[in-house]
Amino acid sequence: MMGMAAVARRGPQPPGDDKTTMLVRKIPDGSVIDHIAAGKALSVLRLLGNPQEHGFTIAMVMNVSSSKMGKKDIVKVEGMEISQEQVQKLALIAPRASVNIVRSYRVMAKKNAVPPRTLRGILSCTAPTCVSVREKDSAPSIFFISGRAPLRYRCKYCGRELDEKEISSQLG
């Protein structure tokens, strides 16, 4: 159902034909989010409020090779500067992501997604016996960061640790 698997590149050089390539113009103003974990680009778009549904021009690639990460996604949103609050949330679903703010075709600012030390009311503990699960009203969710690469958070109450995969699936 999925068709061919990826094949090795063959001998002939690519011709200059615009049906087989896609050149994305440099954006005059906007944000470039690089080093998103492969496959998470759509979660990033959702986190940004689905700008494509509001008319923003978007360019993205998914599952492209990365020396840093093996595979990655990249999202570019024209005419939108991502806020610090959005960058913080981004840190949770794309911990290795870097955000470049572009103005007049130049990179004006770089924001690295830095996961917060404490998360309140964002994550859900996966230990069924944890007090934050059994008595949600008296014990609201609190998690402390316990690892950055890879990203890990530890429940304040019971010590259960959530890994990147669990965090992404809760937020994504």
Binding site for a copy of itself (CB under 8 A): 1-7, 9-10, 12-15, 17, 19-29, 32, 34, 39, 41-42, 49, 51-64, 71, 74, 76, 78-83, 100, 102, 104-107
Which residue number, 73 or 119, has a Cβ lying nearer to a copy of itself? 73
Which residue number, 13 or 138, has a Cβ lying nearer to a copy of itself? 13
Rounded distance, CA 33 to CA 128, Å?
A: 36
Q: Say if residue 158 is exposed, middle or buried (CB neighbours under 10 Å; 0-12, 13-18, 19+).
A: middle
In angstroms, give the least distance from the CB of 171 to a copy of itself: 17
In angstroms, give the least distance from the CB of 50 to a copy of itself: 9
Residue 52: φ, ψ to 5°: -65, -25
Which residue number, 20 or 138, has a Cβ lying nearer to a copy of itself? 20
Rounded distance, CA 109 to CA 102, Å?
A: 7
Which residue number, 29 or 161, has a Cβ lying nearer to a copy of itself? 29
Q: Are strands 70-78 and 118-120 parallel, antiparallel or unpaired?
A: unpaired
How many of the other CB atoms lie within 10 Å of CB of 164? 19
In angstroms, give the least distance from the CB of 5 to a copy of itself: 6
